[in-house]
Chains A and B, each alone.
Chain A
């Protein structure tokens, strides 16, 4: 097995991407896209900032006019970063660069773990050499599709503004242009070490998305999909987002668990089902979340020091019961709820002051939870403030979340069982507390619009979609509130909207396994081998583990040994026909085995082969070992033969051969030279009797 990490990703919105070679098949995990890189582009200008934009646009269109202008640009680098430094062009999107180094036609299977891990998929599927099977859970596939469609529709705004693209390489991508970019932007274009340019692609089209979706095979929760008869692929909830999953892959030689960023007690999605991953041979640990929230590390290290070093001391029962308690404690959940409540109370305060709230968070689970909370909080404050959900796919998304109770967290499932409606937003929609609109300029929206209000809308990068317009509208309003996620470079993201009077609330949500929990997790899962990201090495520290482990880093192939022999099922019909012989030296029974090997549902099975073949070509006996001459003599004498031994020596006196002469009942001679015995006899019968006697003293099969 070979494992290569193509990209470590960058948090929730840009999950990691890997490729695994198992049982002769290449499996690609996720195909994401780095949307945070959109920050280098300037959002589509609207009337309020068009003046600034026009200045810039005329400047770039005359860029070949002369040296003067060029010098002008040089100055730009030294200038502090401002809205004009951003690239004013139709954006390109940054894909996983290392994936381009692989031959697309050699990928057999693509496993999509979350909607975010799907956003780059149309780039891959539109390649005419692409022939892999794509698996995703039903919910991931649907939500992913909606997110891609939304992206395409938001991007349209750029396209309408800039017109059709002239060539493959836009102006801004030219080297001399790139060199002129401010340092901050260059770091995003080229990567921190300046070597990562590449993977910038123009966005796919709606048709690409549609074609891509046709290639996605939807899986039910924990449904066993069988690829090529060999690999059994299963998706288990990871708890990160509605529909997101971890993968179990098992073949005849190994079983592997792929653990993506997972959440034990999720606020919205069905929680991390780690029990299903128990006892797999290899765990590919691909949760990078603990390196993103750096502040937690000190705390974690202490805990792991205490808990992590005694893997072998505790009996497995103790480990398990203790482990489960640690993993499932609801601290995390409560903390998350507190955060959401905080967002709510901040929002309520800001509405009280007459401002509006803008929430460009693309996490569906968080959005649903916030809607629930707003429903309660606003009602308790006796406030009637409209909530708008503006997105080209808002209606579909909300309708879809209503029909997938199978992927929701326990708390919401319990509502279903107790006969309550799943979400309060169904009621809110009915009585006009919540509105869904496809776009900011839709007529209905303009009619119902009222401020203050609460708006959920894409895109979190603050470069696309309704959020741009609303930010421009509210950025100067000190009473309004923008809720955004941590991890995004706020300074750069908010650049086009400066000066900002608006309040900004940055918050982080649980998006992976905490380091100390991962120790307990692995204790329970009992793998034989674990692959950790290199970046976690310092946090994992010296482990005293029952499993072996090593580390991987970006674009370096790691070899994973197979842990066991292939397993073979032998049918009873065949097993009944086996004739065992016991070896003379070892205490071992052996039997020749002949049949037809099939691979069915990830298992090798040996059937009784074609009868005709078996009977028509009896396999000759194969002898092995050395002849013990005395034994042979005894055996011959038992058969009433008169046999005498003669040693033949070579010219130099070296031992050449041993000969046994048989005189009775008829003449025969047996010559034994090391690993060869020759029987000479004129009589067929005696020859066969002798050869049987020889078979008797040799091991044969």
Chain B
């Protein structure tokens, strides 16, 4: 049994996340993203690798979307409406609610502003979202009889989830993007300890280690405050969702505390509408924010107004949130061009910008004026360094916590991923891979044999099996004072039973008695016996008037033997029971039966008074031991 992992996107890169995983015949597509850096066919994952015949509905069991970012969901309407996938799609409630906003916004930017040919229409988005089944966190969904999926909280953005998928005994987790530290409005990722064959994790910050957030938050607030205090305008290009709300909470709170009156604007209706979603979906934020719902919903911002285009060149300080985040076009670019020539103004840049965007250019330029734009760029730049992605420590922590058998890294930059891969392999001893796009990877899985178990078997396994072992640690010491026996208690519940396999029946485990009973057979005891003669050197010949040694003498002789055996077999419990000696199943006794059937071998007729017969019997299991004992007793004549 293997898990086959086909990487269609985000292999050794960031963008168009899409991994198709086949577990025991069930095929799941995790994320269906688009690449923001390309405008040609490379922006979509190469879906033809899934099915040559393009019958995607039949070849996939389901699609799972982890969160609403375009690099995770951007290609979904295209895949469902244009490529014709018609099967189930799962995402969390917030993702289902917010994804259409993101998709529609993107579509508008593409078509209305850039004048591109549209890849999918508004109608497509609506139709696509109708096929989506919304899920709650930890809700266990039985996609079909064998495939089970479950969402776990991932932090990152509202509604982001890691997904667990299980088919038979094989199980994997696909993390999507996640954050291991809580931020202003979201909690940290949370997952159960699971038995996993594979974890597919993002690795955006595969080598970054971040310190406390508060320092960075303070820097941001200081920069903004300084700018507005001197009458400048602050442009905060963000995604409409997530970062906008986080920064806004931060500013709103700061404005309250510092009693600032400078207006904070949200561009377009998009973000205002997004705030409404945040209010309704407050249960998906962090506990601290959640607790506010009854008094004042934390997303009822006090100081936030909506922006009008006429305000762009209005005098006075202001703060403006505008989309898109990487200043790749749209309103944020429009405003940027207007504000860039003024050195009083400030623009913040998100932690990550895709190559080819203005944001990326600004980020890589040492001196802003070098950027080739139509306008002269004098604006101050503040790089935001808080990211909703986990850092390397977070990735390591998660992998360590889940302890899967294998790890696959996606959604990162290759050189950094290589470093992280080596770290995972050397520090955690877990196999780690970083497949490139279009690469396919096979991973062995766990598998259990299923059997029915009888009640008696289960009961016998569960009932305690106490063993009390007395260990005389020291032998009798000189002063003949007995040391206290050390009592040791064992509870070894080793389960023993019998597995039966019959044609056309599933295997069954029963315990031994049940098994015999079911078959209608009896236990058959196989024993061995040996009766042999030992010559006892006579120390008190005068007394030996009888043919046989007297009872008392017999007793003392047995005692003698038992002591000898005790010495020679220190690991065994030698029981001296007057008439016989018993060691495990081996029974040694005097034999007075002349016709003892076990007396084989050479039978000499001479009846020597100094001769004694010993009869031994034992069961097959103690065969080796028994022959040792026989030899030992035979040696008696030599010893004495």
B449:A682 contact, CB within 8 angstroms:
no
The stretch that binds B, out of A355-363, A461-469, A566-574, is: A566-574
Chain A 622-638 interface 0/1 with B at a Cβ cutoff of 8 Å (1 = within): 11111100000000000
Chain A, range 397-418, C-beta contacts under 8 Å to B: 399-400, 402-406, 413, 416-417
Question: Which of B280, B455, B598 contacts A405 (CB under 8 A)?
Answer: B280
Q: Assuming the A-B contacts A404-B283, A597-B461, are A691 and B140 also in contact, with contact meaning beta carbons closer than 8 angstroms in the complex?
A: no
A-B contact count (CB 8 A): 242
**Contact A595 to B494, CB < 8 A, known contacts A403-B283, A684-B627:** yes
What 1/0 flags go to A685-697 for Cβ under 8 Å of B? 0011001001100
State A623–B457 Cα separation when bound (angstroms). 20
How far is the CB of B360 from the nearest CB of chain A, in Å?
A: 32
Cross-chain contact A403 with B281 (CB below 8 angstroms): yes
Find residues 628-680 in chain A having any chain B CB closer than 8 Å to their own CB: 659, 666-669, 671, 675-680
B516 part of interface (Cβ distance < 8 Å): yes
Nearest CB in chain B to that of A570: its residue: B449
Asked whether any CB of chain A lies closer than 8 Å to the CB of B528, the reply is yes
Q: Which of B55-63, B129-137, B337-345 contacts A (4 or more CB under 8 A)?
A: B129-137
B453 x A567 contact (CB < 8 A): yes
Tell me if A605 is interfacial: C-beta within 8 Å of chain B.
Answer: yes
List residues of chain A with CB within 8 A of the CB of B531.
Answer: 680
Whether the Cβ atoms of B526 and A589 lie closer than 8 Å is: no
B398: interface (CB < 8 Å)? no
- B512 contacts which chain A residues (CB < 8 A)? 622
Q: Does A385 contact B (CB under 8 A)?
A: no
How many residues of chain A have a CB within 8 Å of chain B? Answer: 88
Known: A566-B452, A604-B453. A623 touches B458 (CB 8 A): no
> In the complex, which residues of chain A have a beta carbon less than 8 angstroms from the beta carbon of B447?
572
A569 touches B450 (CB 8 A): yes
Are the CB atoms of A593 and B524 closer together than 8 Å? no
A680 with B523: CB separation less than 8 A? no
The residue from A402, A605, A699 contacting B280, defined by CB atoms under 8 A apart: A402
Q: Evaluate contact between B495 and A596: CB separation under 8 angstroms.
A: yes
B283 touches A680 (CB 8 A): no
If A403-B282, A568-B453, A667-B600 touch, whether A613 touches B492 (CB-CB below 8 Å) is: yes
Q: Cα distance A682–B97 when bound, in Å?
A: 88
Whether a CB of chain B sits under 8 angstroms from the CB of A565 is yes
Tell me if B621 and A623 are in contact (CB < 8 A): no
Question: B460's closest neighbor in chain A, by CB?
Answer: A597
A473 beta carbon closer than 8 Å to chain B:
no
Known: A413-B134, A568-B452, A677-B524. A590 touches B97 (CB 8 A): no
Residue of B nearest to A679 (CB): B528
Q: Is the CB of B528 within 8 A of A687?
A: yes
Task: Select from chain B the residue with minimum beta-carbon distance to A235.
Answer: B139
Q: What string of 1s and 0s marks CB contacts (under 8 Å) between B115-149 and chain A? A: 00000000000000100001011111110000000
- In angstroms, Cα B468 to Cα A135, docked, is 41
Q: Which residues of B have CB within 8 Å of A252? A: 458
Cβ distance A690 to chain B, nearest Cβ, rounded Å: 9
Cβ of A619: which chain B residues have Cβ within 8 Å of it? 496
Establish whether residues B497 and A624, one from each chain, have CB atoms under 8 Å apart when the complex forms.
no
Q: CA A399 – CA B297 in complex, angstroms?
A: 9
CB closest chain-A residue, reference B585? A620
Is A626 touching B496 in the complex (CB atoms < 8 A)?
A: no
List, in ascending order, chain A residues with CB within 8 A of B453's CB.
Answer: 565-568, 604
> Which listed residue (B136, B140, B600) contacts A668, Cβ 8 A?
B600
| Min C-beta distance of A242 to chain B, whole Å | 14
Majority SS of interface residues in chain B?
mixed
Mark the stretch among B223-231, B255-263, B500-508, B542-550 that contacts chain A: B500-508
- Complexed CA–CA distance, A159 and B524 (Å): 79
Return the contact of A588 from the options B294, B502, B532 (Cβ within 8 A).
Answer: B502
Known: A620-B619, A680-B597, A699-B521. A569 touches B280 (CB 8 A): no
Is the pair A403, B280 in contact by a Cβ cutoff of 8 Å?
yes
Kindly state whether residue B530 has any CB partner on chain A within 8 Å: yes
- CB-CB < 8 A to A668: which residues of B? 600
The answer on a CB contact under 8 Å between A220 and B138 is yes
Contacts of A276 in B (CB 8 A): 142
CA distance A220 to B524 in the complex (A): 57
Q: Does B567 contact A (CB under 8 A)?
A: no
| Chain A neighbourhood of B142, CB < 8 A | 276
Q: In the assembled complex, how far is the CB of residue B332 from the closest CB belonging to chain A, in whole angstroms?
A: 22
Task: For the complex, count residues of B whose C-beta is within 8 A of A.
Answer: 81
Highest count of chain B CB atoms <10 Å: which of A234, A590, A668: A590
- Enumerate chain B residues within 8 angstroms of A621, measured Cβ to Cβ: 620-621
Q: What's the least CB distance linking A79 to chain B, in Å? A: 49
Q: B49 at interface (Cβ–Cβ under 8 A)?
A: no
Q: With an 8 A cutoff between CB atoms, is A587 at the interface?
A: yes
Contact flags B71-115 to A (C-beta < 8 A → 1, else 0): 000000000000000000000010011001100000000000000
Given A221-B139, A395-B294, A688-B623 in contact, is the A589-B501 Cβ separation under 8 Å? yes
Q: Are A625 and B139 CB-contacts (below 8 A) given A417-B97, A568-B450?
A: no
Say yes or no for A606: interface residue by CB 8 A criterion.
yes
Chain A 582-593 per-residue mask, 1 if CB under 8 angstroms from chain B, else 0: 010111111111
Q: Which residues of B contact A419 (CB under 8 A)?
A: 100-101, 273, 276
In whole angstroms, how far apart are the Cα atoms of A395 and B293 in the complex? 11
* A52 at interface, CB cutoff 8 A: no
Cα distance, A554 to B529, chains bound together (Å): 66
A595 to B495, CA, bound (A): 5
- Determine if A568 and B597 form an interchain contact, defined as CB atoms under 8 angstroms apart: no
Interface string of B481-515 (1 = CB under 8 A from A): 00000000000111111111111000011001001
What's the least CB distance linking A226 to chain B, in Å? 10
Closest A residue, CB atoms, query B273: A419
B525 lies within 8 A of chain A by Cβ: yes
Contact of A669 among B276, B294, B597 (CB under 8 A): B597
Residues of chain B within 8 A of A677, CB atoms compared: 524-527
Instruction: Return the contact of B495 from the options A406, A575, A597 (Cβ within 8 A).
Output: A597
Closest Cβ neighbor of A574 among chain B residues: B449
Does B525 contact A675, Cβ atoms closer than 8 Å? yes
Q: B-facing mask of A607-625, CB < 8 A → 1, else 0? A: 0011001000001111111
CB of B519 closer than 8 Å to a CB of A: yes
Q: Mark B173-214, 1 if CB is under 8 A from A, else 0.
A: 000000000000000000000000000000000000000000
A585 partner residues in chain B, CB cutoff 8 A: 519
Q: Give Cα A405–Cα B619 distance, bound, in whole angstroms.
A: 72
Asked if A594 is at the interface of the complex by the 8 Å CB criterion, the answer is yes
Chain A residues with CB under 8 Å of B141's CB are 222
Does A681 belong to the interface (CB within 8 Å)? yes
Instruction: Say whether A201 faces chain B, with CB atoms less than 8 Å apart.
Output: no
Give Cα A568–Cα B138 distance, bound, in whole angstroms.
Answer: 26
Across the interface, do A565 and B525 meet the contact criterion of CB distance under 8 Å? no
Distance to closest chain B CB from A338 (angstroms): 28
B461: nearest residue on chain A (CB-CB)? Answer: A597
B contact residues around A609 at 8 Å (CB): 494-495
B276 proximity list for chain A (CB < 8 A): 419, 421
Specify which chain B residues have a CB less than 8 angstroms from the CB of A610 in the assembled complex.
Answer: 492, 494
Cβ-based interface call for B462 (8 A) = yes
Minimum CB–CB distance for A523 against chain B, Å: 19
B635 beta carbon closer than 8 Å to chain A: no
The answer to whether A623 and B525 touch (CB under 8 A), given A586-B519, A591-B499, is: yes
Q: Judge whether A676 and B621 touch: CB under 8 Å.
A: no
| Nearest CB in chain B: distance from A618 CB, A | 9
A444 to B628, CA, bound (A): 100
CB closest chain-B residue, reference A586:
B519
Q: With A405-B281, A620-B621, A680-B529 given, is the CB distance from A625 to B521 under 8 Å? A: yes
Excluding A417-B97, A620-B619, 13 further A-B contacts by CB distance (< 8 Å) are: A222-B139, A399-B297, A570-B448, A585-B519, A590-B500, A594-B494, A668-B600, A679-B526, A679-B529, A684-B627, A687-B528, A691-B623, A701-B498
Selected A-B contacts with CB under 8 Å, 12 pairs: A565-B453, A566-B452, A567-B451, A568-B509, A569-B450, A572-B449, A593-B496, A595-B495, A597-B493, A606-B509, A609-B494, A678-B528
User: What 7 pairs between A and B have smallest CB-CB spacing?
Assistant: A620-B621, A682-B601, A569-B448, A565-B452, A680-B598, A568-B453, A223-B138
